[in-house]
Structure 1
C-alpha cells in the first residue's frame, strides 16, 4: 500500500509505504499546468518607444560599469607583481567582476608567506562569493592556522558550509574558547559535538522559513534551529582545525578523523553515532539517442525517513552517465526516484519508483524517463515564405535560410530577462541542437536589434541564424495564426516549410531548450 499525505503549514508532506523489503512500487502520473489567462493592458507605440529608450540608457550604464572590471592583462600584471600563478589569479580576478577592488586589496595586503593560502581560499569559494565577499571575512579565514589534513582546503580553510551568508566567524570561536579547550576539541571532536548538544538549545518555532543563522549569533544566543545548529557545529570545528562538513549528498553533519574518514554526528542525541549501515544504488540507463537525463531537471533520488522524502544532493545538472558511472554509497533504507519529461504544452510526464537499499547490498534501479505516446500534432500555420531582415539588412525568407524540413523560429528582445533565460536554456544543450542540424532562426524587433549583444551568449548552437522582424510583422503573424493572447516575447515555434506549426512556447518556462528538443526528437521517431 502506498500513500502521500497533503502538506500543511504545520506539517510537511509525507510518504508511507507498506511492502516487503525486496518489493518495488512504481507508477506514472501526468502533471498538467493550469491554462494561461494573460490579461495584460495594451501598450501604445509611444510607450514602447519610451521603454526602449530607457533600456538603451540602462544598457549604456551597465556596459560602462562592466568596462571597469579586471581584464586578463591586469590579472597577469598583478600575478607577476605578487609572484603568484597567473592562470589562477586571472580566473579569480575576472570572476570577481565588480568586487575586484576588494580582492585586489586583499591580495596586496596579505603577507608574502600567506599569499598561496590566500589563492587557495579564493579558489575554493564559489564565483558568487567572489562577487560580494568583504575584506574582513577574507582576512578572518586566511588567518586559519595550517593543519596537516587532506581536507584542509575544502573543509577547514573554506568559509562556506552550506548556503549561509559568509561571515568572519573563525576568530570569534577562537576567542570564545581557551587554547586548552580548542586543543581538546581538535584531539577529540566528539567533545565538540557534545559541547554543542549540551549548550545549544534547538528551537523549532522561531525560524519557520529555515533561514541560516550566523554562527556568531548562535554562539551568543545559544539557540538555533536544527539546520543552523549543524552549520554552527561545522563552523566551530573548522575554526579549531577539525575538518568538518555537511555531507554534499545527504546533508548529514560530519567531521573527518585522523585517517580522513568522514564520521556522522548526531548533535541532538548528544553522542556521535556509529555510522549507519550502508548499501549502494546502481543506476542503469540506456541512452536511446535523445536528451541525456540530468539531475534535478529530469530525475532526482530521495531517501524516505519517517515518511518524509529528502532529496540527495548528487550534483545539480550532472548527466546520468556521470552520476551512474559507479554505484552510489548511501545509508540503507527506503528511497524514491522521480523522473519527468516536460512537454511542449507545459505538462510533465512523471514516474515514481520506490525501492529499498539493503545493508551491504546493491539496489539495481533502472532510470526510465517517459515518452509521449500521442505523437506531435499540427496546432497552426506559419508561412515559411515570410521575410525577415538578415544582419546586413537584406530581406530574406525563412525558407531560403532554413531549407526544406523542420526549423525553430524564435522572437526575442534585447535586455529582456525572459529572452535571456531562453537563450541560456538553449545554450545549455548546444550539442544536442547541433546534432539535430536544422536551423534556429532568432529574430529581434527591428527598432531595438542594434542594442542586442550576441557576445553575451557565446555558447549558443552554431546552427543559429540572426535577423530582425521588420515592423513586427512576424510577431503579428504568429499572434494571429496561433491565436496567442498577446505578442509578448519571447515566442518560439517549431514548424516545417510546408507551413505547419507543431509546437509553440510563449514567455519563459523552466527548461525551454529541453522542451523544444523533446518535441524535435518526437518528430524523428
Structure 2
C-alpha cells in the first residue's frame, strides 16, 4: 500500500496579529491543562495514599494516573464506606478514564452494583457488574434511570431470563440505519428516550441493563456481540445458546523478538459473510505469545510493516480453525526496505543553548555518535505529547542514543518532557534563538509540512537520513530503526 501521490500543501500562514493571537490562545490552553497536574509528584501521591493503609500502593498508583483529576479521584475515595469496592472500581478504568472521571457518576454506579456483590465471585463482579466502562462510550450515570425505567415484574423476569432484555431492547429501539456513526454508541438513557439507535448502541444498552440488574455481562472480546454469564459460561442473548461452546484456540508466536503491538503491527480477522471482520483483543499480549479463544471458522492473520515514506508492507495468512482444535502460527513481518528509502540531506549549522546557558553548535553534538536523533518540539502540544509518550514507551531502546531535543524558550517544565529527560538520561535539552530556525530547518530537511514536532536522524557529518513533521503513529520507533540502518 502506498500513500496518495501529490505534494503536501502547507496551511497558509496567518497574518501577524492573527498568528500572535493564535499562539497566545494555545499557550493559555497548555498552561491551563498543565497547571492541573504540574508539581503533583509521586511523593505527593504516596503521601495522600498513606491515609488508606490497607490499599496504600494501589491508591498511590491510581492518584498518579489521575494527574490533574486527582482531587476528583480522592473525592470518590472519600465518599463513604466500601473503600475496597471503590478501589476495585477505579482499577477497572483506563488511565484516560481516571483523568476524566466524575465522583458523583461513579458513586451512582457503586450504589446500584453493591447489592449484587455476593452473587458472583469477586473478579466477575468487579469486571462485569461493578465496572462502569462497557466499551469506549462516555461514562454516564445510567443505572438509576434504567432501574426506574422498568417495573419490578419486568426486572424480575429479566433476571430470570436475560434474553428477554435483548428482546425488549430491540422492541423499543428502532434501527437508525446509517444515521449514526458506526464507531460511536449512544447514552443508554437517551437511547431509551429516543427509541432510535444503531446496533452498536443497542448492544451497549443490553450490557448496561444487565449490569444494572446485577447480571454479569460484557461485549464479546472478538466480534463485539452482546454476552451474559450463565452457570455454564458466556451466552449470546440473540440465540440463548452458550457463546463459547465448541471453541478453538489460536496461539500466535512472535519468533523475531521485536516489539509488536496488536492493532498496530498485526491483527486477526474472522471471515463473516464474505467479509473479514477484525477482532478485538482483550487477551494479554506479552510481546511473545498471544492465546485467542475463538469460534470455529476461517481467519486471517495480517501483519503490517510501515515504512518511513508512508508505504506499508502487508503480509496475509489464512487459517481454518475446527471445533476444539488448537493451531499455532508465527507472526511474521515482511522484511523492511528501510535502506532503499533513506535520503541524505545536508543540514546547516545551528547554535543551540543548553539550560545552563552554554552554547553548542549542532555539528559538535552530531559528531558525538554515528547517528543522532534530533527533535524540535512544542511542549504541551498534542502531537508533541504523543511523540514524547512513544519515546517513554521505548525508553530502554533510547537509553544509549544520542538524542537532542530542541524547544522554544518556554516549555522546559512540561511534565511529559521532564519525564522523558528523567527516564532517558542520554536525551539532552536545548533551545535555539536563531530567527526563523524552524523554517530554515524545514527547508534543509525538505519538509513541506512545517507543523511541530519535527524529527530527524543525523549522521556524524550533518546529513539527515530522513525526517518527519507533525506526528504519525510509530514515529519514535522508526527513528530508532533509521538510526540503526
On whether the aligned pair clears a TM of 0.5, the verdict is: yes
1:303-351 CA-partner distances (Å, limit 9, x unpaired): 1201222221115995541xx25x4210111112221122221222222
Shift of 1:279: 1.5
Q: Taking structure 1 as the reference length, what is the TM-score of the superposition?
A: 0.78
1:6-28 CA-partner distances (Å, limit 9, x unpaired): xxxxxxxxxxxxxxxxxxxxxxx
Shift of 1:203: 0.9
| SS of match in other structure, 1:368 | coil
Q: Which residue of 130, 135, 139 maps to 1:166?
A: 139
| SS of match in other structure, 1:360 | coil
Shift of 1:415: 3.4
CA–CA distance in structure 1, aligned partners of residues 305 and 386 of structure 2: 19
Shift of 1:294: 1.0
1:30-61 CA-partner distances (Å, limit 9, x unpaired): 33343442233346888766665555555544
Aligned residues between the structures: 477
1:176-205 CA-partner distances (Å, limit 9, x unpaired): 4454544443344345445545x3455142
Structure 2 segments unaligned to the other structure (5+ residues): none
Are the counterparts in 2 of residues 202 and 229 from structure 1 also a CA contact under 8 Å?
no
2:306 is matched with 342
| SS of match in other structure, 1:336 | strand
Within-5 A mapping of 1:358-507 = 358-373=322-337, 375-376=339-340, 379-382=343-346, 386-402=350-366, 403-434=368-399, 437-445=400-408, 447-448=409-410, 454-455=417-418, 457=420, 461-472=424-435, 475=438, 478-485=441-448, 487-507=450-470
Within-5 A mapping of 1:209-358 = 209-210=181-182, 211-220=184-193, 223-258=196-231, 261-266=233-238, 271-272=240-241, 275=244, 277-287=246-256, 291-315=258-282, 318=285, 320-321=287-288, 324-325=289-290, 327-358=291-322
Are the counterparts in 1 of residues 173 and 192 from structure 2 also a CA contact under 8 Å?
no
By relative contact order (CA 8 Å, sep 6+), the higher-ranking structure is 1
Structure 1 segments unaligned to the other structure (5+ residues): 1-29
| SS of match in other structure, 2:206 | helix
| SS of match in other structure, 1:350 | strand
Shift of 1:64: 4.0
Within-5 A mapping of 1:4-19 = none
Are the counterparts in 2 of residues 418 and 507 from structure 1 also a CA contact under 8 Å?
yes
CA separation of 1:173/1:49 partners in 2, compared to 1, >3 Å: closer, same or farther?
closer
CA separation of 1:384/1:243 partners in 2, compared to 1, >3 Å: closer, same or farther?
same
Are the counterparts in 2 of residues 427 and 457 from structure 1 also a CA contact under 8 Å?
yes
2:95 is matched with 127
Within-5 A mapping of 1:183-194 = 183-194=156-167
CA separation of 1:487/1:257 partners in 2, compared to 1, >3 Å: closer, same or farther?
closer
CA–CA distance in structure 2, aligned partners of residues 317 and 51 of structure 1: 43
Name the Cα RMSD after superposition: 3.5
Within-5 A mapping of 1:41-190 = 41-42=12-13, 56-66=27-37, 73=44, 76=47, 80=51, 85-100=55-70, 102-110=72-80, 112=81, 114-143=82-111, 144=113, 145=115, 146-150=117-121, 151-179=124-152, 181-190=154-163
CA–CA distance in structure 2, aligned partners of residues 410 and 67 of structure 1: 23
CA–CA distance in structure 1, aligned partners of residues 243 and 369 of structure 2: 65
Are the counterparts in 1 of residues 371 and 458 from structure 2 also a CA contact under 8 Å?
yes
CA separation of 1:458/1:70 partners in 2, compared to 1, >3 Å: closer, same or farther?
closer
Shift of 1:174: 3.1
| SS of match in other structure, 1:410 | strand
CA separation of 1:486/1:469 partners in 2, compared to 1, >3 Å: closer, same or farther?
farther
CA–CA distance in structure 2, aligned partners of residues 384 and 312 of structure 1: 48
CA separation of 1:148/1:35 partners in 2, compared to 1, >3 Å: closer, same or farther?
same
Are the counterparts in 2 of residues 276 and 332 from structure 1 also a CA contact under 8 Å?
no
Q: Taking structure 2 as the reference length, what is the TM-score of the superposition?
A: 0.84
1:430-486 CA-partner distances (Å, limit 9, x unpaired): 22233xx331111224x4465656325467533212212230576455334343346
CA–CA distance in structure 2, aligned partners of residues 70 and 374 of structure 1: 41
CA–CA distance in structure 2, aligned partners of residues 515 and 317 of structure 1: 25
1:104-161 CA-partner distances (Å, limit 9, x unpaired): 4444443x3x333233223323333334444443232222212331211111111221
| SS of match in other structure, 2:227 | strand
